[in-house]
Amino acid sequence: MDLDLLPDLYRDHVAELQRRYEPILAELGLDAVVLHSGSLKKRSEFDDQDWPLRPTPHFQHWLPLKEADCALVVAPGKKPKLLWRKTQSYWERPAEPEQRYFDACLDIEELPQIDDLRPHVPPGRIGFVGDEPALGVRWGLGADRYNYAHLIGRLDRLRVHKTPYEVACLAEANRLAAAGHEALRAAFRTGDLPELTLHLRYLEATRQDDSETPYKNIVALGHNAATLHHIHYGKRAAPKDVQSLLVDAGATFQGYASDITRTWLRGTGATASAFGHLVAGVEAMQLRLCAAAKVDLPYEELHEEAHRQVIDILQEVRIVRQPLDPDAARVVSRAFFPHGLGHSLGLQCHDVGCALVKPRLDNPYLRNTSIIAPGQVFTIEPGIYFVDFLMDQLRQGPQGPSIDWSLVTALAELGGVRIEDDLHITAHAGPENLTRPWLPVGGGS
Ligand SMILES: [Mn+2]
The mean of the pLDDT values for the chain is 93
- Pairwise CA distance, residues 202 & 56, whole Å: 26
- Pairwise CA distance, residues 2 & 269, whole Å: 45
Stretch 133-150: mean pLDDT? 75
What is the percentage of the chain residues whose pLDDT exceeds 70?
98
- Pairwise CA distance, residues 20 & 51, whole Å: 32
The one-character DSSP state at 435 is: S
CATH topology of domain 164-433: Creatine Amidinohydrolase (3.90.230)
Q: What are the strands, taking DSSP E only, across 133-267?
A: 218-221, 244-249, 252-253, 256-257, 260-265
Find the 28 Cα to ligand 1 centroid distance in Å.
34
In sequence order, what are the residues at sequence separation of 6 or more whose Cβ sits closer than 8 angstroms to the Cβ of residue 123?
31
Q: For residue 399, give the amino acid letter.
A: Q
Domain boundaries, the chain: 3-157, 164-433
- Pairwise CA distance, residues 375 & 6, whole Å: 18
Helix, strand, coil percentages in the chain from 3-state DSSP, rounded to 5: 40, 15, 45
Find the 72 Cα to ligand 1 centroid distance in Å.
30
Angle among Cα 292, 422, 175 to the nearest 5 degrees reads: 135
- Pairwise CA distance, residues 201 & 101, whole Å: 31
Measured in degrees and rounded to the nearest 5, phi and psi for residue 441 equal -60, 135
- Pairwise CA distance, residues 291 & 430, whole Å: 8
Q: Let me know how many helices (H) and strands (E) the chain has, helices first.
A: 11, 15
Helix (H) or strand (E) holding 316: helix 299-316
- Pairwise CA distance, residues 112 & 220, whole Å: 46
Find the 379 Cα to ligand 1 centroid distance in Å.
6
**CATH 3.40.50.720 corresponds to the domain 3-157:** no
Give the pLDDT band (50/70/90) at residue 3: confident
What is the percentage of the chain residues whose pLDDT exceeds 90?
81
Stretch 347-361: mean pLDDT? 90
Find out whether 438 and 181 touch, Cβ atoms under 8 Å.
no
Find the 260 Cα to ligand 1 centroid distance in Å.
7
How high is the pLDDT of residue 122? 84
**DSSP reduced 3-state for 256:** strand
Q: Is 419 exposed, middle or buried (0-12, 13-18, 19+ CB in 10 A)?
A: buried
Strands 244-249 and 218-221: antiparallel
How high is the pLDDT of residue 424? 98
Residue 138 has pLDDT above 80, yes or no: no
**DSSP reduced 3-state for 371:** strand
How high is the pLDDT of residue 337? 97
Give the pLDDT band (50/70/90) at residue 116: confident
C-beta neighbour count of 104 within 10 angstroms: 10
Find the 224 Cα to ligand 1 centroid distance in Å.
18
Can you say whether the dihedral through the CA atoms of 101, 105, 111, 114 is positive or negative? Answer: negative
How high is the pLDDT of residue 143? 64
**DSSP reduced 3-state for 311:** helix
Find the 232 Cα to ligand 1 centroid distance in Å.
18
Give the pLDDT band (50/70/90) at residue 313: very high
Find the 265 Cα to ligand 1 centroid distance in Å.
21
Per residue in 54-111, pLDDT tens?
Answer: 999 999 999 999 999 999 999 999 999 999 998 888 888 888 777 789 999 999 999 9
Find out whether 105 and 151 touch, Cβ atoms under 8 Å.
no
Angle among Cα 155, 29, 54 to the nearest 5 degrees reads: 30
Find the 201 Cα to ligand 1 centroid distance in Å.
21
Per residue in 77-86, pLDDT tens?
Answer: 999 999 999 8
- Alpha carbon distances (Å) from 375 to 60, 140, 170, 423: 18, 38, 12, 10
How high is the pLDDT of residue 1? 65
Q: For residue 28, give the amino acid letter.
A: L
Closest by CA to 103, choosing from 80, 128, 121, 122, is 80
How high is the pLDDT of residue 238? 79
- Pairwise CA distance, residues 262 & 280, whole Å: 11
Q: Is 125 exposed, middle or buried (0-12, 13-18, 19+ CB in 10 A)?
A: middle
Find the 343 Cα to ligand 1 centroid distance in Å.
7
Stretch 260-284: mean pLDDT? 96
Find the 15 Cα to ligand 1 centroid distance in Å.
30
Find the 259 Cα to ligand 1 centroid distance in Å.
5
Stretch 195-215: mean pLDDT? 97
Give the pLDDT band (50/70/90) at residue 445: very low
- Alpha carbon distances (Å) from 173 to 135, 170, 179, 213, 236: 32, 5, 11, 10, 31
Find the 417 Cα to ligand 1 centroid distance in Å.
13
